[in-house]
Copies of this chain bind each other. A is one copy, B any other.
Amino acid sequence: MRVAVIGLGLIGGSIAKALKANTAHEVFGFDTDPDVLLDASSFGAIDGVAAPETLASCDVVYLCLYPEDVVRYVEENGAHIAKDCIVSDACGIKGFVVPALTALSRKFGFTYVGGHPMAGKEMSGFAASDAGLFTGASYILVPGDAPQTAVETLERLARAMGFARIEHCTAAEHDRRIAYTSQVPHLLACAYVMSPECEHHAGFSAGSYRDVSRVARINAALWTDLFLANRDALAAETDELLKNLTRFRDAVRQGDRESLTSLLEMARERKERFG
Contact = CB atoms under 8 A, between A and B. Distances in A.
A209 interface: yes
A217 interface: yes
A257 to B, nearest CB: 6
Interface residues of A, number: 88
Contact of A206 (B138, B196, B228): B138
A267 B218 contact: yes
Contacts of A120: 206-207
Label chain A's interface by main secondary structure: helix
Contacts of A266: 194
A271 interface: yes
10 nearest A-B pairs in the assembled complex, by CB-CB distance: A190-B267, A180-B197, A185-B208, A216-B271, A181-B205, A220-B264, A211-B211, A191-B244, A177-B204, A191-B245
Given A174-B204, A181-B197, A242-B246, 18 more contacts: A180-B201, A181-B206, A182-B209, A184-B192, A185-B208, A188-B245, A190-B268, A195-B241, A199-B274, A202-B274, A202-B275, A208-B215, A216-B271, A217-B268, A227-B260, A228-B252, A231-B253, A238-B245
Interface of A: 118-120, 137-138, 140, 165, 167, 174, 176-182, 184-209, 211-218, 220-221, 223-224, 227-228, 231, 234-235, 237-242, 244-249, 252-253, 255, 257, 260-261, 263-268, 270-272, 274-275
